[in-house]
Amino acid sequence: MTSFYKVLDNLPYPAILALAALFGALMPLAFAPLSLWPLVFLLLALLLVLVETQTSCWRVFFIGWCFGLGYFGFGVYWIYNSLHVFGMAPPFVAGFLTGLMIVVLALFTGFTLSGWKFIQRSTGRQGIWILPVLWFAFEWLRGWVLTGMPWLSLGYSQTETPLAGFAPLIGVYGLSALCLLLVLALLRIISNREYRYIALIVLIPGAGLALQNIDWTDAQSSALKVTMVQGNIPQEVKWQYDQRQNIFNIYWRETTRNWDSDLIVWPETALPGRSEEIEQDVLLPISITAAEQGSSILTGVIVSDSANQRFYNSMLLLGTDQGVYHKRHLVMFGEYYPMRWLLDFMRGLINIPYSDLEPGPDEQPMMSVKGVKIGLSICFEVVFTRDIMLALPEANLLVNASNDAWFGDSLAPHQHLQIAQMRALETGRPMIRSTNTGISAFIDYRGRLIEKSEQFKTLSMTQNMVGRTGNTPFYYVAKIQGVIALLIILVLLFYVIKIHRQNRLTSL
C-alpha cells in the first residue's frame, strides 16, 4: 500500500481526476444486472486513497465530482435514449438535459468528500469516521433536491448480500453508510495495520446474515392469486390511434386465460387513450366482464377531466373490487415541466404524450381486493421510500406498475427492479411489479425474486401472494431520517463557517 501511495504522489492532478472518473464509471457494474457488489468496496477504497493524497478541500471536491461524473454518466446514460429515441427530442436537447442531470448528481459526491476532508483536516485522525454519516446525509438530500433522483444509491447494490438483513432496520441510505464504514475499516487494516478493525469486517456481515432470519412482519391467513400481464407494446406505437384495438386484444387475450385469479394486473398506461374516450366502449365492459368472472383487473390509464384540463397518470381497479389511484410523484420533463414560466418552450422540443399531468393527492383511498389492501405506486415512485411509506402500515401487498419501454434495452429496467426489491425489504411487504416490456416480477417480503419475466415478450405470470401486516423497524426510522440528515448537513455547514471565521481572525 505504501508503494501505491508513492505512485499516486508522483501522478499529476489531472491523472488523479481521470482515475477518479474511471473508478466511478466502473461503479454501476456493482448494481443489476451484473451485480458485482464487491466492486462497491474496492472502488470506494481506491477513491478514498486518491482523496488521502490531497490536502486541499477544493481538490478533493473535484476528485469526488469526477468520480460522480463517471458513476452517473455510465449509470444513468439511458436518460438520453428516453428523451431522444422515445421522446423525439433533438440530440442537443436530450444531451443537454442528460448532461445537466449527471453534472448535478455528481456535485453530491464532491460535496460529501470535500466536507469529509475539511472535518478530517480540522479534527485529526478520528475525523475519518464521519464519512459514513455524511454519505448518508447527502444521499438523502439527493433524493429530495428538484423532487429527487436517488437512483444508484450505494445501498441498492446490497439487495442480495449479507448486508441486506439491515434494510428493514436502516433502509437503503443506512446500507450506504454501512458500506462506507466497512471500506474505512478495510483501509485502516491495510494501510495502518490496525487489525482490531477485522472485528467490524466480520461482525457487520455476520449480523446482517442473522437479521435475514427475522420476520419483522406477519403473514395474513390466506393468499391472493395474482396474474400480471406483460403486453410488450413498443413505445413508438403505444399511442397510435389505429393501434388501440390491437393493444387491447393483446391484454385481453392473456387476461381471459386467467379468470381464476383474484387479481389481474396490467402495467402503467396499458390502455392507450384518455379515460373519457374509452369509458363506455372499453372500461365499462372490462369491469362488467371481470365482475361476472369473480375477478378484478388493475390497469394503468390516463384519467382525464378535459373540462378542467386535468389529466392524471392513474391505475384503475375494475371488476368485483373497484378504485382509482393517481400518481403522486411525477417525472420532471416526462410528466410535468418545472418552472413552467421559464421552461415552457421545452414542451415544443420533447414529444412525450401527456407530459403535463397533475399529481395526485398524498391522501388517497386505498384499494382492496378480497380483503387484501394494496399499496400502489407507478413507475418512478418506487424509487422513493417516502412515497411507498404513505401506504403503510395499512397496505398488505405492494404493487408497482411501470412502462419501462422508455428505457429500451439498457441498464435501467434491471436497476429499477433492484430498487423495487429494496422497497420490499424495507417494508417487509411482498411486491408485484408489472411492466409493459419487462422486467416484470413477483418479489417476496424479504426482497427475493420469486419469479421474473424475460424482456420484450408478451406473457403472463401467476403466483399466490400472501399479504403481510405489521411494521419493520425502518417504518419508524423513515419518519425521522430526514430530520437526522438535515441536522448532519446543518452541523457541517455551521462547522465550515466557524472554522472559516477562525482562520480569517487568525490571519488578521
pLDDT digits (tens, 9 = 90+) for 430-439: 999 999 998 9
With pLDDT > 90 as the criterion, what percentage of the chain qualifies? 71
Q: Does residue 338 register a pLDDT over 70?
A: no
State the pLDDT confidence band at 352, using cuts at 50, 70 and 90.
low
pLDDT at position 120 = 86
- The residue to which cell 486518491 is assigned: 50
Looking at the structure, do residues 247 and 328 belong to the same domain, yes or no? Answer: yes
State the DSSP H helix or E strand holding residue 229, giving kind and residue range, or none if neither: strand 218-230
CA angle 75, 54, 176 (to 5 degrees): 40
Buried-state track 444-454, b at ≥16 Cβ within 10 A, e below 16 = bbbbbbeeebe
Looking at the structure, do residues 24 and 150 belong to the same domain, yes or no? Answer: yes
pLDDT at position 501 = 75
Q: CA 185 to CA 131: how far, in whole Å?
A: 12
Q: Which three cell numbers mark 339?
A: 418552472
pLDDT at position 26 = 98
Is residue 379 part of the annotated active site? The answer reads yes
| Torsion angle in degrees (nearest 10) through CA of 284, 289, 293, 299 | -50
Which of the following is catalytic: 327, 358, 381, 426? 327
pLDDT at position 94 = 85
State the DSSP H helix or E strand holding residue 16, giving kind and residue range, or none if neither: helix 13-26
pLDDT tens digits for 273-294? 889 889 999 999 999 999 999 9
Which of the following is catalytic: 139, 254, 268, 335? 268
Tally of structural domains, the chain: 2
Looking at the structure, do residues 407 and 495 belong to the same domain, yes or no? Answer: no
Q: Which of these ranges, 260-269, 304-313, 319-328, 392-401, has the smallest mean pLDDT?
A: 304-313
Question: Collapsing DSSP states into helix, strand and coil, what is residue 298?
Answer: strand
Work out the end-to-end distance of the chain between its first and last CA atoms, rounded to an integer number of angstroms.
Answer: 41
Q: CA 440 to CA 498: how far, in whole Å?
A: 52
Looking at the structure, do residues 14 and 126 belong to the same domain, yes or no? Answer: yes
pLDDT at position 465 = 97
pLDDT at position 83 = 82
Looking at the structure, do residues 228 and 137 belong to the same domain, yes or no? Answer: no
Looking at the structure, do residues 456 and 498 belong to the same domain, yes or no? Answer: no
Q: Does residue 342 register a pLDDT over 80?
A: no
Q: Is 428 left (phi over 0), alpha (psi -120 to 50) or beta?
A: left
pTM of the model: 0.93
User: In terms of Cα–Cα distance, which of 169, 107, 167 is closest to 138?
Assistant: 107
Q: CA 411 to CA 30: how far, in whole Å?
A: 12
Q: CA 421 to CA 415: how far, in whole Å?
A: 10
State the pLDDT confidence band at 272, using cuts at 50, 70 and 90.
confident
Query: What CATH number does residue 438 fall under?
Result: 3.60.110.10
pLDDT at position 236 = 83
Is residue 373 part of the annotated active site? The answer reads no
Q: CA 313 to CA 319: how far, in whole Å?
A: 20
Cis peptide leading into residue 285 (ω within 30°): no
With pLDDT > 70 as the criterion, what percentage of the chain qualifies? 92
Q: Does residue 333 register a pLDDT over 70?
A: no
CB 174 within 8 A of CB 480: no
Looking at the structure, do residues 149 and 292 belong to the same domain, yes or no? Answer: no
Looking at the structure, do residues 245 and 351 belong to the same domain, yes or no? Answer: yes
**Long-range contacts of range 121-128, CB-CB < 8 Å, 24 or more positions apart?**
121/55, 121/57, 122/495, 122/499, 128/184
- Name every residue whose Cβ is closer than 8 Å to that of residue 146 and which is 6 or more positions away in sequence: 104, 332, 338
pLDDT tens digits for 80-89? 888 877 677 7
- Other beta carbons within 10 Å of 163: 26
Q: Which of these ranges, 65-69, 307-311, 351-355, has the smallest mean pLDDT?
A: 351-355
pLDDT at position 341 = 46
Task: Kindly report the backbone phi and psi dihedral angles of residue 67, in degrees, each rounded to the nearest multiple of 5, phi listed first.
Answer: -60, -45
Residue-range definition of the domain harbouring residue 336: 218-471
State the pLDDT confidence band at 367, using cuts at 50, 70 and 90.
very high
Looking at the structure, do residues 135 and 187 belong to the same domain, yes or no? Answer: yes
Once rounded to an integer, what is the mean pLDDT over residues 160-171? Answer: 97
pLDDT tens digits for 441-455? 999 999 999 999 999
pLDDT at position 35 = 95
User: In terms of Cα–Cα distance, which of 162, 182, 135, 141 is closest to 40?
Assistant: 182
Looking at the structure, do residues 78 and 90 belong to the same domain, yes or no? Answer: yes
CB 384 within 8 A of CB 150: yes
pLDDT tens digits for 2-43? 556 666 667 899 999 999 999 999 999 999 999 999 999 999
Helical ranges in 76-226 per DSSP H: 78-81, 91-123, 131-142, 167-192, 198-211
Is residue 327 part of the annotated active site? The answer reads yes
Strands (E) in 272-428, as ranges, are 296-305, 310-319, 323-326, 367-369, 372-378, 397-402
Q: CA 241 to CA 277: how far, in whole Å?
A: 11
Looking at the structure, do residues 465 and 487 belong to the same domain, yes or no? Answer: no
Which of the following is catalytic: 358, 379, 381, 426? 379
- Across the chain, mean pLDDT equals 90
Strands 218-230 and 263-265: parallel
Looking at the structure, do residues 37 and 147 belong to the same domain, yes or no? Answer: yes
If you ran DSSP here, which 8-state letter would residue 213 be given? T
Taking the CA atoms of 116, 118, 120 and 122 in sequence, report the sign of the dihedral they define: negative
Task: Kindly report the backbone phi and psi dihedral angles of residue 436, in degrees, each rounded to the nearest multiple of 5, phi listed first.
Answer: -75, -50
